[in-house]
Amino acid sequence: MKVRKGVFLVAGLGTRTLPAAKTIPKVMLPLADKPAIQYVVEEAVAAGIEQVILVTAAGNQAVEDYFDTAYRLEETLAARGKEKELAELRALKEMAAVIGVRQHEPLGTGDAVRTARSVVGDEPFAVFLPDDVIDGQPPAIRQLIDVHETYGGEVVAVMPVPREHVDRYGIVEGAEVAAGVRRLRSLIEKPPVGQAPTNLAIVGRYVFTPAIFDYIDRIPTGAGGEIQITDAIDALAQEGEVYSSEFTGTRYDMGDKVGYLSASMDLALKRPDLRPGLVKYLRSLDLDRLDSPS
Question: Rule CB under 6 A: which residues touch ligand UTP?
Answer: 9-17, 26, 55, 103, 106-109, 111-112, 129-131, 255
**Residue nearest ligand UTP by beta-carbon distance:** 12
Q: Rounded CA gap, 212 and 154, in Å?
A: 8
Residue 55 or 188: which CB sits closer to ligand UTP? 55
Residue 129 or 157: which CB sits closer to ligand UTP? 129
**DSSP track, 6-67:** EEEE--S--GGGTTGGGTS-GGGSEETTEEHHHHHHHHHHHTT--EEEEEE-TT-HHHHHHT
Q: How far is the CB of 11 from ligand UTP (least distance, A)?
A: 3
Q: How far is the CB of 38 from ligand UTP (least distance, A)?
A: 14
List helix spans (H) across the chain: 36-46, 61-66, 71-79, 83-94, 109-114, 117-120, 140-151, 211-218, 229-239, 257-269, 275-284, 287-290
Q: How far is the CB of 129 from ligand UTP (least distance, A)?
A: 4
Residue 26 or 205: which CB sits closer to ligand UTP? 26
Q: Compute φ and ψ for 103, nearest 5 degrees.
A: -100, 120
Q: How far is the CB of 13 from ligand UTP (least distance, A)?
A: 5
Residue 140 or 181: which CB sits closer to ligand UTP? 140
